[in-house]
Structure 1
Amino acid sequence: MGENDFLTPKAIANRIKAKGLQKLRWYCQMCRKQCRDVNRLKCHCLSESHQRQMQIFGQNPDRILSGYSEEFERNFLDLMKRSHRFSRVAATVVYNEFINDRHHVHMNSTQWETLTGFVKNLGRTGKCKVEEAPKGWFISYMDTDSEMLLKERMKNKRIKLDVVEEEKHEREIQKQIEKAEQFKTPWEAEENERKAVNKELNLERGMKIRFSLGRGSAAKAEKIESCRHIFPLG
Structure 2
Amino acid sequence: MGRAEVGTPKYIANKMKAKGLQRLRWYCQVCEKQCRDENGFRCHTQSESHVRQMLIIGENPQKKIAEYSEQFKRDFLSLLKSSHGEKKVNFNKFYQEYISDRNHIHMNATKWVSLTEFVKVLGDQGICRVEVDPGKEGGFTIAYIDNSPEAIKRRELAQKRERGDKDDLEREQKQLERQVKKAKMEGEELKKLKKKEGENDENKSESDDSKSARELQRDGTQPIKLAVSFSKKPIATVATRPKPMKLK
TM-score (norm 1): 0.58
Which of the two has greater helix per residue?
1
Once the 2 structures are TM-superposed, how far is the Cα of residue 14 of structure 1 from its aligned partner? 2.9
For 2:143, the equivalent position in structure 1 comes to 140
The count of corresponding residues between Structure 1 and Structure 2 is 148
Provide the secondary structure at the position in 1 that maps to 2:68: helix
CA–CA separation in structure 1 for the residues paired with 2:38 and 2:129: 38
User: In the aligned structure 1, how far is the partner of 2:71 from the partner of 2:142?
Assistant: 19
Cα separation, 1, equivalents of 2:149 and 2:127: 13
Cα deviation for residue 148 of structure 1 reads: 7.3
Which has more radius of gyration?
Answer: 2
Partner of 1:210: none
Shift of residue 90, structure 1, vs aligned partner = 0.3
Matched, 1:45 2:45: yes
Matches within 5 A, 1:89-128: 89-128=89-128
Query: Secondary structure of 1:144's partner?
Result: coil
What is the letter of the counterpart of residue 101 of structure 2?
D
> Deviations for 1:26-51, whole angstroms, at most 9, x for unmatched residues?
11111010101111111100100000
**SS state at 1:138 partner:** strand
Task: Report SS of the residue matched to 1:66.
Answer: helix
Superposed displacement of residue 122, structure 1: 0.5
Q: CA deviation at 1:149?
A: 5.6
Q: How far does the alpha carbon of each residue in 1:98-157 deviate from its partner, in whole angstroms, 9 at most, with x for none?
A: 111101011100011211111111011111011123411110111112477639x99xxx
TM-score for the superposition, normalised by structure 2: 0.55
The match for 2:174 is: none
Look up the SS of the partner of 2:92 in the other structure. helix
Q: Which residue of 1 aligns with 2:30?
A: 30
1:7 aligned to which of 6, 9, 31: 9
| 1:133-212 → structure 2 map (5 Å cutoff) | 133-134=133-134, 135-146=138-149, 150=153
CA apart distance, 1:24: 1.7
Which letter does structure 2 place at the counterpart of 1:142?
I
Determine if the alignment matches structure 1 residue 60 to structure 2 residue 60.
yes
Structure 2: where are the runs of 5+ without partners? Answer: 158-248
